[in-house]
Chains A and B, each alone.
With several copies, the nearest count.
Chain A
């Protein structure tokens, strides 16, 4: 099955009330500062996610990718200084969907109840049809009634992904959302996400250079301590890109070189 097979399925998945591309704001973190007892993780770090585009973040393990994503989500630790603004001047609160590095599924709920958690937390009616369609699209159609303890690692991650997609927000933050998936499922779900989140402002943290180049409009490498952002790579064409594209493979080599440099610098 190729990603294009999804075309016929996205009917019930796409929403008429989707924000048209362009209404999703750009998000900027200004002069972020954060110290753990080990030293300064960020010091005067500026970071922008352009409006309606996918920004991908790579970097050595432990450099601060998840922490940066959490800063954007408004989950900064108490001792962090950071200011997050949107290009439309509105506050970001309430316009973000967040998928953490761990799945954070609630063990007492079924998969269905977990993916519709957001609506119930806000006292809204859950969109049952969309939830079931999304679960089906990620291959969890049969698992909707199961508890997280009955799922495999990859199934849990897919459930967390569906929960995030159910939120239907203009700004999406995802921390390694496909890391526990097999190669085939990964490609499928990347395509699904690319389609469903078109026009949103997305931040994707990943360790997979090809994934970043396939999905990202801008690909950053975070490195060093305090962490710095390099000038982003900007893969040509619209996501999801074909990864056998010559230009993408060239960029992959460049990205790997940057990652190696980052690893050497951060260690």
Chain B
């Protein structure tokens, strides 16, 4: 099948599966609306959805960029300073175990109800996957390269930046892929915690008003954006790391 046909066919299959589930659950559209209902709502309410979608997309992108920068920076710090690693790592793990909603009021208190808290939430949710994946990559550097760099008289920082970092880029890319897929949920949870706009807010509202098709229409927009973003990032990463073997590419 030619490549350009794949996305529409996938879409069609997902819609069919969805419709199957709808029928299976007894056509109760307040639990799960049918795809057609949802698409109808999507078309009819597009003018409502679009501005909310815009807000969420900005949050996702900002959160993604900041989260990756922060996660990347933390991983570098961890790799560079053994003491930092020993003391910070447990704190990082602990921070992961704290559910967002527990600290949400604090976050909102610090960052307000605007963009800030949502970006922070998206950041927080991708921070650990990025940090852990990248740090793991930094730990696994080919020892021969490190020996060579040592004899060459490279400082800790130079070795980190010129050898360990590029060697860890495939692992970082792996973390980035996860982050890309997870960032949207971060933004939506952020909106749930406190907001006055965004797809997450719209979903909450629609849910409370029992406008379940509208909620699923918002979900659809979110999902479409997520897939597009993931495809973009995946493609970009593969072009940026041409030396990494990838059986995908040969296809």
**What residues on A are CB-neighbors of B149 within 8 Å?**
117, 121
B152 touches A122 (CB 8 A): yes
Q: Across the interface, which residues of B come within 8 angstroms of A123, CB to CB? A: 155, 158
**Is A75 in contact with B150, judged by CB distance below 8 angstroms?**
yes
B247 interface residue (CB < 8 Å to A): no
B159 x A102 contact (CB < 8 A): no
Provide the A84-99 mask, 1 if CB < 8 A to any CB of B, else 0: 0000000001101110
- Name, among B153, B154, B159, B162, the residue most crowded by chain A CB atoms within 10 Å (CB to CB): B153
* Residues on A with beta carbons closer than 8 Å to the beta carbon of B166: 106, 108
Q: Which residues of A contact B241 (CB under 8 A)?
A: 108
Can you name the residue of chain A whose Cβ is closest to the Cβ of B152? A118
Decide: A107 and B243 in contact? CB cutoff 8 A.
yes
Q: Contact: B154 with A121, CB < 8 Å? A: yes
In Å, the complex CA distance between A192 and B151 comes to 23
Judge whether B246 is part of the interface by a CB distance below 8 angstroms: no
Min CB–CB distance A125 → chain B (angstroms): 14
Cα distance, A98 to B144, chains bound together (Å): 11
**B163: interface (CB < 8 Å):** yes
Smallest Cβ-Cβ distance to B159: which chain A residue? A121
Q: From the candidates B145, B147, B162, B250, name the one contacting A75 in the complex (CB within 8 A).
A: B147
Query: Which chain B positions have C-beta within 8 A of A78?
Result: 250
Q: Are A121 and B147 neighbours in the complex by a CB distance under 8 Å? A: no
B169 at interface (Cβ–Cβ under 8 A)?
A: yes
| In the complex, A186 has a CB within 8 A of chain B | no
Interface pair B152/A117, CB less than 8 Å apart: yes
Of A93, A102, A120, A149, which is within 8 A of B162 by CB? A120
Does any Cβ of B come within 8 Å of A43's Cβ?
no
Q: How far is the CB of A89 from chain B (nearest CB, A)?
A: 20
Chain B residue at smallest Cβ distance from A147: B243
B9 at the interface (CB under 8 A from A): no
Residues of A within 8 Å of B, CB-based: how many? 25
Q: Is the CB of B243 within 8 A of A121?
A: no
For A96, give the chain B residue with the smallest CB separation.
Answer: B151
Known contacts A120-B162, A121-B158; is-contact A74 B150 (Cβ 8 Å): yes
The residue among A74, A97, A106 with the most chain B CB atoms within 10 A of its own CB is A106
Q: B162 to A117, Cβ gap below 8 A?
A: yes
Is the C-beta of A205 less than 8 angstroms from some C-beta in chain B?
Answer: no
Binary A-proximity of B132-163 (CB < 8 A = 1, otherwise 0): 00000000001011011111111100110011
CB-CB under 8 A for A167 and B152, given A100-B144, A121-B158, A121-B162: yes
Partner of A104, one of B145, B243, B250: B145
Asked if B153 and A94 make an inter-chain contact with CB atoms under 8 angstroms apart, the answer reads yes
Verify if A203 is at the interface (C-beta below 8 Å from B).
no
- Closest Cβ–Cβ distance, residue A78 to chain B (whole Å): 7
User: Contact between B151 and A121 (Cβ–Cβ < 8 Å)?
Assistant: no
Indicate if A210 sits at the interface (CB-CB under 8 A).
Answer: no
Residues of A in contact with B (beta carbons under 8 Å apart): 70, 73-75, 78, 93-94, 96-98, 100, 102, 104, 106-108, 117-118, 120-123, 147, 149, 167
Closest 4 CB pairs of A and B: A121-B154, A98-B151, A118-B152, A107-B243
29 contacts between A and B (CB under 8 A): A75-B147, A96-B151, A97-B152, A98-B147, A98-B151, A100-B144, A100-B147, A100-B148, A102-B144, A104-B144, A106-B145, A108-B167, A108-B169, A117-B149, A117-B162, A118-B152, A118-B153, A120-B162, A121-B149, A121-B155, A121-B159, A121-B162, A122-B154, A122-B155, A122-B158, A123-B155, A123-B158, A147-B243, A149-B243
Given contacts A75-B150, A147-B242, A147-B243, 4 further A-B contacts (CB under 8 A): A75-B147, A100-B144, A106-B163, A108-B167
B-to-A contact residues, CB < 8 Å? 142, 144-145, 147-155, 158-159, 162-163, 166-167, 169, 241-243, 250
